[in-house]
């Protein structure tokens, strides 16, 4: 009798709850399926070296995605991140000549200033963030070309090169460590702090948030500031890793960064999603392109596959939304 | 008798739960027939079956004495049954004329014939003695005109039977008068109308007969002329509403300490508003649409600025430039439009109730104390009787009445001294209304000053210690013993 009851319970669970669980965790499941297939297809995939390699590869664009997660959750968008990163990268290359500290602090400051500018413009002019940040991004990219005359800046000091190229205990890449630390900080801010709650509230319904006593302007400044600062940090890591600051660095990365956020289930309308989604989105993109490399698939196919993943993610999200209603 | 629609013994279940039980419904030709019932009574299910959006489990439907079987909304539409939903489907940047012909544009060689659309729209509108310029854009017209535009669109689509799903929840008294004339014209044209509404007073003005549903059963169909407000409510909720309609009578001397005072407050929408409110007092503020109710509420909550005049809280002059500042003076605001201004729709009930109270739920100055938060929210949910499965569910999953209770719970969590309620019971059913009235009375007993901004006169009369009537942005009367007539007179500018 007892056995029958518990069997019943189990079968009850299998019917509804498993389906709900699968739907809710479809991203994780998708990721695991990709990983398992790749592990079966190639024996190089599931090695510590390769996994760390994947994390290192996504870490730089991942910083941009994390910044964008803040902005998108609040209902905005920041298309200037990649250009700000390129400009800040050049500034990093110049500043690191004087000291390591300057090489890190100055580009981050530059990123913060542009982030602040974005936030202020969105607040004061009340224009669409899409076109506003696109405008600023294009301007900054132009500024970078003018400053460098279109040429890369070389020769980083050995100590500066550790940031992008070094490994802790000869195994863990420094960029991966930076990335993980920023992930954790972002998670804590978005989930544990007042400002995190306010970001979600503003993203869900600006007017309701304002009437709840939330200073929407402050939240806007905050999210664009975070995005700018993370673009600055990405600039430091990228310049150090490439041992050069290129004015064409990261062209198109802003859209890749947005794609990772969206694949992770964060809604472009704001208020829905979070850091883990973005991390998963990044890992899916990273693992797939890593897998294609390991399988010797031509790079031409990679963009094609990435596009399919984005389309698939959007369709899956819509289906979930439809079924909920 | 000629029937436009006859529904016989309609039964419908959702996953084993019967929501309609052998419901009969008859709509006479040229009749305006009200369909009322509390939330969950089965109104919308019945309507969805009639409009082909849902299929019935059993029963028969006759349209003009022909039995019909709808397989999709298109089938119902082809027979001339059209529905105007609460969420209107108009394009706000198009003119009235283009909205009337939306989806049915007349074209020549692929080009839209604007002249034709304009001319025929003008005729339709004139025939229905509607006094509007059809070239006006939808975003520039009142809600009443929008609804009438929707109905005109149904007529272009050869509608014989029009279902109005709670069209008037946001119409003012004046608009209602125009609407009434408009509906009479439709009747002249032989069009039958099913009218769903929460506002009973309208039914007495507009309708011929009324059918009451309760818990999936048809209670009765009555001639409107042969019944009254009281008995309809009794039929809807199965008990008398008398209890909460008894006027609150607190002797004036019991209020002593002043909480908020306005002196000659003016801005674009308000002129020289002066009054003061005492601790524990309930002030009802009413008036026609555009009289300045919402504008006054927004000023008191710092959502809009004042240009002239002064506001005092506890005798001290204050500047209210942002809702945040109003909050600091312990002023709470429950906005008029729940969906647009009140709710964080996709976020959890917990998030919604906590969001304006995080300052008292924090630790180490920037973190949310999640244990404190959960306790706080649980407490609020219980004391405001919000019916929720779990506080982690999206607030969207609650019924309208429970959403409103959750919003009250959110605002009373911060222990406000002054509470502004803008249309606190709009669009919620009679049962939930009753509960909210009870809550309001309890809150005022705790010494909180409450300002209710409402266009429902019964509500104002039932709850207020004093009533302020607004007209054209200024106060046209303040009194503690107005009746319905006096309020109507004052709000239309009479003496």
> Is residue A14 assigned to a domain?
no
Cα–Cα distance, B79 to B60 (Å, whole number): 16
**pLDDT: is B159 or B104 the higher one?**
B159
Looking at residue B342, what DSSP letter applies?
A: I
Domain assignment present for residue A17? The answer is no
- Give the number of domains in chain A: 1
> What SS3 string covers B372-412?
HHHHHHHHHHHHCCCCCCCCCCEHHHCCHHHHHHHHHHHHH
Whether B239 shows a pLDDT value over 60: the answer reads: no
Answer yes or no: is A228 within a domain: yes
Position B172 confidence tier, pLDDT thresholds 50, 70, 90? low
Whether B346 sits inside 8 A of A271 (CB atoms) is yes
Predicted confidence at residue B301, as pLDDT, reads 92
Q: What is the pLDDT of residues B393-438, one digit of tens each?
A: 999 888 888 898 999 899 888 888 999 999 888 777 777 888 888 8
Q: What is the pLDDT of residues A290-304, one digit of tens each?
A: 999 999 988 888 889
Give yes or no for residue B150 having a pLDDT over 60: yes
Domain boundaries, chain B: 3-239, 245-330+416-491, 349-414
Does residue B495 carry a pLDDT above 50?
Answer: no
What pLDDT score was predicted for residue B44? 83
CATH topology for B3-239 is Rossmann fold (3.40.50)
* Residue B494 confidence (pLDDT) above 60: no
Would you tell me the crossing angle of helices A158-165 and A100-124 to the nearest 10 degrees?
A: 60
Model confidence band, residue B482 (pLDDT cutoffs 50, 70, 90): confident
Domain that holds residue A314: 47-324
Does A32 map to a domain? Answer: no
Note the helical H segments in B114-208. Answer: 114-127, 143-156, 173-188, 200-206
Per-residue pLDDT at B240: 47
* Of residues A38 and B229, more confidently modeled: A38
Confidence of residue A1 (pLDDT cuts 50, 70, 90): low
* pLDDT given for residue A7 in this prediction: 58
User: Bigger pLDDT: B117 or A3?
Assistant: B117
Instruction: Give mean pLDDT, residues A87-108.
Output: 96
pLDDT of residue A14: 62
Indicate the pLDDT class of residue B249, thresholds 50, 70 and 90. Answer: low
Asked if pLDDT for residue B49 goes beyond 70, the answer is yes
In the beta sheet, which residues pair with residue B60? B8
Structure tokens at A132: 């506003």
Lowest mean pLDDT among B220-234, B246-260, B288-302: B246-260
Q: Report the pLDDT averaged over residues B334-357.
A: 88
Q: What is the pLDDT of residue A112?
A: 98
Among the partner-chain residues A192, A193, A205, the one whose CB lies closest to the CB of B344 is A205
Whether residue A243 lies inside any domain: the answer is yes
Rg (CA), chain B: 24
pLDDT in tens, A156-171: 999 999 999 999 988 8
**Mean pLDDT, residues B58-81:** 90
pLDDT tens for A175-207 read 999 999 999 999 999 999 999 999 999 999 998
Chain A: give the shortest CA distance to residue B185, in Å: 38
pLDDT at B131: 78
φ, ψ of residue B91 in degrees (nearest 5): -95, 115
Using one digit for the tens of pLDDT, what is the confidence trace for B372-399? 999 999 999 998 888 888 999 999 888 8
Residue B415 has a pLDDT of 84
Residue of chain A whose Cα is closest to the Cα of B325: A213
Provide the whole-model pTM: 0.77
Same fold for the pair B3-239 and B245-330+416-491? yes
On whether residue A22 sits in a domain, the answer given is no
Average pLDDT of the residues in A36-63: 92
Treating both helix axes as pointing N-terminal to C-terminal, what angle do A48-73 and A275-294 enclose, rounded to 10 degrees? Answer: 140
The CA distance from B463 to B444, in Å, is 10
Q: Show the 3-state SS of A114-159.
A: HHHHHHHHHHHCCCCHHHHHHHHHHHHHHHHHHHHCCCCEECCCHH
Of B326, B341, B368, the CB nearest to A192: B368
Read off the pLDDT of each residue in B438-460 and give the average, rounded to a whole number. Answer: 88
Residue B77 has pLDDT above 70, yes or no: yes
Tell me if B323 and A213 make a contact (CB, 8 A cut-off).
Answer: yes
Mean pLDDT of B347-360: 92
> For B305-339, b where at least 16 C-beta lie within 10 A, e where not — what string?
ebeebebebeeeebebebbbebbebbbbbbbbbbe
What's the pLDDT tens digit per position in B90-119? Answer: 888 899 999 988 888 888 888 888 889 999
Collect all residues of chain B within an 8 Å Cβ-Cβ radius of residue A201.
Answer: 344, 347, 351, 355
Please state the φ and ψ torsions of residue B35, each to the nearest 5 degrees: -120, 115
Q: Do A65 and A261 meet the contact criterion of CB atoms below 8 Å apart?
A: yes
B334 vs chain A: nearest CA distance in angstroms? 9
Q: Give B 278-337 residues with CB within 8 A of chain A.
A: 301, 303, 322-324, 326-327, 333, 335
Contacts of A205 in chain B (CB under 8 A): 340-341, 343-345
Residue A322 scores a pLDDT above 60: yes
* Average confidence (pLDDT) over A7-35: 75
Residue B241: predicted pLDDT:
44
From the candidates B298, B334, B337, B341, which should be mutated to test the interface with A, based on the most A CB atoms within 10 A? Answer: B341
Question: Residue B450 pLDDT > 80, yes or no?
Answer: yes
CATH of the domain at A137: 1.10.3470
Contact status, residue A122 vs residue A220, Cβ threshold 8 Å: yes
**Mean predicted lDDT score pLDDT of chain B:** 85
Sheet holding B58-63, edge to edge: B17-28, B3-14, B58-63, B66-68
pLDDT (0 to 100) of residue B242: 45
Q: Which of A192, A193, A204 sits opposite B346 (nearest CB)?
A: A204
Is A10 part of a structural domain of the chain? no
CB B215 within 8 A of CB B433: no
Q: Could you read off the pLDDT of B293-326 as tens digits, one per residue?
A: 888 999 999 988 999 999 999 989 999 989 989 9
Q: Kindly report the nearest CA distance between residue B356 and chain A, in angstroms.
A: 5
In the predicted structure, residue A62 carries a pLDDT above the cut 90: yes
Provide the phi-psi class of A233: left if phi over 0, else alpha when psi is between -120 and 50, else beta: alpha
Q: Please state the CATH superfamily assignment of the domain spanning residues B245-330+416-491 in this structure.
A: P-loop containing nucleotide triphosphate hydrolases (3.40.50.300)
Q: Is residue A30 part of a domain?
A: no
**pLDDT tens, A106-138?**
999 999 999 999 999 999 988 899 999 999 999
pLDDT higher than 60, residue A11? no
- Out of B351, B370, B410, the one facing A200 most closely (by C-beta) is B351
Q: Which residue of A24, A211, A217 is the best one to mutate when testing the B interface, meaning the one whose CB has the most B CBs within 10 A?
A: A211
In this predicted model, which residue has the larger pLDDT, A65 or B227?
A65
Read off the pLDDT of each residue in B249-275 and give the average, rounded to a whole number.
82
Indicate whether A221 pLDDT > 90. Answer: yes
Cα B73–chain centre separation: 26
B164 HSE (CA, 13 A, CB side): 30
What is the structure's pLDDT at B493? 61
The whole-number average pLDDT for the span B8-26 is 87
pLDDT of A133 reads: 96
């Amino acid at each position: 009798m007892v056995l029958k009851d518990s069997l019943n319970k189990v079968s009850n669970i299998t019917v509804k709850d498993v389906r709900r669980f699968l739907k809710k965790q479809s991203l994780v499941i998708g990721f695991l399926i990709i990983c398992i297939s790749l592990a079966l297809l190639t024996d190089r995939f599931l090695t510590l070296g390769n996994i760390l390699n994947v994390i290192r590869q996504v870490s730089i664009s991942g910083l941009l995605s994390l910044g964008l997660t803040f902005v998108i959750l609040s209902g905005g968008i920041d298309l200037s991140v990649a250009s700000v990163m390129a400009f800040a990268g050049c500034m990093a290359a110049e500043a690191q000549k004087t000291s390591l500290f300057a090489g890190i602090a100055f580009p981050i400051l530059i990123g913060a200033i542009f982030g602040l500018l974005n936030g202020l413009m969105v607040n004061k002019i009340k224009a669409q963030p899409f076109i506003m940040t696109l405008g600023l991004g294009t301007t900054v990219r132009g500024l970078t070309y003018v400053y460098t005359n279109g040429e890369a800046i070389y020769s980083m000091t050995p100590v500066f090169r550790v940031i992008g190229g070094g490994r802790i205990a000869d195994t863990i890449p420094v960029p991966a460590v930076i990335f993980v630390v920023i992930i954790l900080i972002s998670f804590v801010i978005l989930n544990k702090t007042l400002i995190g709650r306010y970001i979600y509230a503003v993203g869900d319904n600006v007017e309701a948030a304002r009437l709840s006593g939330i200073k929407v302007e402050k939240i806007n400044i905050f999210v664009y500031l975070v995005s700018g600062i993370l673009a600055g940090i990405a600039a430091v890591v990228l310049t150090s890793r490439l041992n050069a600051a290129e004015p064409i660095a990261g062209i198109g990365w802003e859209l890749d960064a947005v794609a990772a956020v969206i694949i992770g289930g964060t809604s472009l309308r704001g208020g829905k999603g979070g850091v883990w989604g973005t991390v998963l989105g990044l890992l899916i993109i990273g693992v797939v392109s890593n897998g294609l490399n390991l399988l010797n698939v031509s790079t031409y196919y990679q963009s094609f596959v990435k596009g399919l993943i984005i389309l698939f993610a959007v369709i899956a999200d819509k289906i979930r939304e439809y079924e909920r209603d | 008798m000629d029937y436009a629609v006859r529904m016989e013994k309609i039964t419908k279940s959702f996953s084993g739960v019967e929501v309609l039980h052998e419901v009969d419904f008859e709509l006479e030709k040229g009749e305006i027939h009200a369909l009322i019932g509390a939330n969950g009574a089965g109104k919308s299910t019945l309507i969805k079956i009639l409009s082909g959006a849902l299929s019935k489990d059993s029963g028969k439907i006759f349209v003009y004495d022909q039995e019909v079987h709808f397989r999709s909304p298109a089938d119902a539409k082809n027979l001339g049954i059209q529905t105007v939903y609460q969420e209107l489907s108009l394009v706000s940047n198009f003119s009235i004329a283009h909205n009337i012909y939306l989806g049915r544009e007349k074209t020549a060689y692929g080009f839209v014939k604007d002249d034709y659309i304009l001319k025929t729209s003008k005729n339709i509108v004139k025939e229905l003695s509607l006094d509007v310029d059809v070239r006006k854009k939808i975003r520039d017209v009142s809600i009443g005109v929008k609804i009438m535009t929707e109905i005109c669109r149904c007529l272009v689509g050869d509608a014989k039977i029009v279902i109005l799903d709670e069209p008037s929840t946001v119409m003012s008294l004046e608009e209602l008068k125009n609407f009434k004339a408009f509906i009479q014209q439709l009747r002249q044209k032989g069009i039958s109308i099913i009218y769903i509404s929460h506002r009973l007073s309208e039914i007495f003005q507009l309708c011929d007969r009324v059918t009451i549903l309760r818990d999936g059963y048809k209670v009765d169909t009555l001639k409107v002329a042969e019944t009254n407000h009281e008995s309809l409510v009794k039929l809807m909720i199965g008990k008398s509403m008398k209890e909460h309609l008894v006027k609150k009578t607190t002797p004036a001397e019991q209020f002593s300490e002043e909480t908020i005072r306005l002196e000659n407050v003016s801005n674009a929408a308000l002129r020289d508003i002066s009054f003061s409110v005492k601790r524990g007092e309930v002030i009802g503020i009413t008036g026609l649409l555009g009289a300045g109710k919402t504008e006054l509420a927004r000023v008191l909550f710092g959502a809009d600025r004042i240009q002239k005049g002064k506001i005092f809280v506890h005798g001290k002059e204050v500047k209210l430039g942002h809702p945040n500042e109003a909050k600091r003076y312990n002023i709470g605001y429950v906005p008029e439009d729940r969906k647009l201004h009140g709710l964080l729709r996709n976020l959890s009930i917990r998030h919604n109730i906590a969001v304006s109270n995080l300052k008292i739920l924090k630790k180490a100055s920037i973190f949310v104390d999640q244990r404190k938060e959960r306790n706080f929210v649980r407490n609020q949910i219980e004391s405001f009787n919000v019916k929720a499965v779990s506080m982690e569910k999206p607030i969207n999953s609650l019924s309208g009445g429970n959403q409103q209770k959750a919003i009250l719970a959110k605002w009373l969590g911060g222990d406000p001294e002054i509470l502004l309620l803008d249309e606190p019971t709009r669009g919620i059913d009679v049962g939930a209304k009753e509960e909210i009235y009870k809550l309001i009375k309890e809150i005022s007993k705790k010494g909180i000053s409450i300002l209710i901004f409402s266009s429902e006169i019964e509500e104002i009369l039932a709850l207020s210690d004093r009533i302020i009537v607004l007209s054209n942005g200024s106060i046209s009367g303040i009194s503690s013993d107005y009746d319905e007539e006096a309020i109507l007179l004052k709000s239309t500018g009479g003496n």
